Amino acid sequence: MILFVPGYDPATRANLAVAEHLSSADCRPLLGEDATRAELWLALASPGIPLLAMTHGRRDRLAGQGGEVAVDLEGVRAMEPRAVFAFACHTATELGETAARHGIAWWGYTGAIQAPPDSSSLLPWFVEIFTCIRDSFARADSTEALRAAISRIAVLCHEVEWRVDALLETTPDPDAGPAYFCLLHIWQRLRIWEPGAAAALLHPNAPPPELFL
């Protein structure tokens, strides 16, 4: 798996704090200064390897280190079929739809999303969620498996919400507000484009997509 996470502003550095705990034996980490367009496309030259990205996004691009364009619509069209999870704003619209037309299973987001909180007390719980994402998205090989993966992610986000509630009963944390928003956005604004699909999959309890486009 390719783990692509720049770190050049508060939001991406918060993503990076989580990503530094996600690398595994079969992972090629492109983190911080190494999260460049050039390094990413070298890694993508190996066909079929899944990509997990946590960065800034727009409807038609993913950002690399310093805000450079790492993946755009032209790049998606040239990318070998693989599973991609893009934890980045707006990446379920043009990027996701284009990816699906070119054989890519694309997990992205509709609208803006909140980065994980930069808090040592909350960080382990977000590492747990993104570990679940890491271990789930590339293995889901059917519509039923994709729906089951979304449900697992949502359940885990709800469990972490309860943990944050319990934590706040004894220990005030200024990052609790961003944590709640991030936990909601992780599953509510998640959209999955299967290869060749005419529409994206979403959790059955997610708000209608037109609210956040």
87 and 69 Cβ atoms separated by less than 8 Å: no
Structure tokens of 174?
């200024």
CA distance 82 to 98: 13
pLDDT digit string (tens) for 188-198? 999 999 999 99
DSSP 118: -
Residue type, 132: C
The sign of the dihedral angle between the CA atoms of 139, 77, 90, 16 is positive
Helix H segments across 5-121? 10-19, 37-44, 73-78, 94-101
| CATH classification at residue 42 | 3.40.50
Report how far apart, in Å, the C-alpha atoms of 6 and of each of 10, 96, 168 are. 11, 21, 31
Single out the residue of 82, 87, 89, 108 nearest to residue 97, CA to CA.
Answer: 108
d(CA 195, CA 49): 16
Can you give the pLDDT at residue 118? 81
- Tell me the per-residue pLDDT of 19-45, one tens digit each, with 9 for 90 and over: 999 988 889 999 999 999 999 999 999
pLDDT tens readout for residues 88-137:
999 999 999 999 999 999 999 999 999 999 888 899 999 999 999 999 99
Do 70 and 62 touch, CB atoms closer than 8 A?
yes
Q: What is the pLDDT of residues 146-202, one digit of tens each?
A: 999 999 999 999 999 999 999 999 888 778 899 999 999 999 999 999 999 999 999
* Count of the separate structural domains present in the chain: 1
- Both tokens of residue 36? 């460049």
**Look-up: residue for tokens 């808090």?**
119
Residues facing residue 30 across a β-bridge: 4
Cβ neighbours of residue 83 closer than 8 Å, sequence gap 6 or more: 50, 51, 104, 105, 107, 137, 138, 140
Per-state percent for the chain, helix, strand, coil, to nearest 5: 45, 15, 40
Tokens of 210: 């037109």
Domain range for residue 85? 2-211
